[in-house]
Amino acid sequence: MNNEMYEYLDKYDELLKILTEEIDIDGKKVRLKDDFEKFFIRGNKTAGVRIRKFMQLLRRTAEEIREDVQNYKSNL
């Protein structure tokens, strides 16, 4: 595999990690699924703030990938 392929796989892995694994937000290890439960079922407002931070991280990562896809497509 070429270097670009590894770079794309790393970004894919980063997306999966955001969605499925514990990540560090504000110095606390949290999981998106757990915060959804805390916010929507238990009404924990702090979990809602962390969900918004998750979504912002997801958005930034998705924008980077979108740019990479566009650049790759342009070079085909």
For the cut 80, the answer to whether the pLDDT of residue 75 exceeds it is: yes
Over residues 35-60, the pLDDT tens digits come to 999 999 999 999 999 999 999 999 99
- State the CB neighbour count (10 A cutoff) for residue 54: 19
Output the CA–CA distances (angstroms, integers) from residue 59 to 18, 44, 53, 75, in the order listed.
Answer: 11, 23, 10, 24
Query: Do residues 50 and 22 lie in contact, with contact meaning Cβ atoms separated by under 8 Å?
Result: no
**How does the average pLDDT of the chain come out, rounded?**
90
